[in-house]
Amino acid sequence: MKVRSKTEMTDLINDKEYFSTVADIKTRIRAAQYRAALSANSELIILYWNIGSVINEHNSWGSNNGTLCEDDKKGHRQTQRYGTHTQSG
């Protein structure tokens, strides 16, 4: 790798191609972040739709929705959630 002098670095940083390249990289990052968010949202919508379908299949549970929600909360308290870490001590 060639080591550039301070003058060469200044010329490179002031070059329009450099700024254009940096702008292009930023645009690509933002676009990828946007696509990732859309994908995650789509997956959650599908999950919630499927959960609703399962609940609707069991009409007898309809009067016990409060109990179903409480059972769900109890289950979440007993398991470690994604992205959280427990600390001992």
Domain range for 35 is 1-58
**Number of structural domains found in the chain:** 1
String of b and e for 2-14 (b: at least 16 CB within 10 Å)? eeeeeeeeeeeee
| Cα dihedral 43→45→50→55 (10° resolution) | 140
Kindly state whether residue 72 falls inside one of the protein's structural domains. Answer: no
In contact, 52 and 58? CB cutoff 8 Å: no
Q: Report residue 58's pLDDT band, with 50, 70 and 90 as the boundaries.
A: confident
Kindly state whether residue 66 falls inside one of the protein's structural domains. Answer: no
Kindly state whether residue 52 falls inside one of the protein's structural domains. Answer: yes
Q: Report residue 78's pLDDT band, with 50, 70 and 90 as the boundaries.
A: low
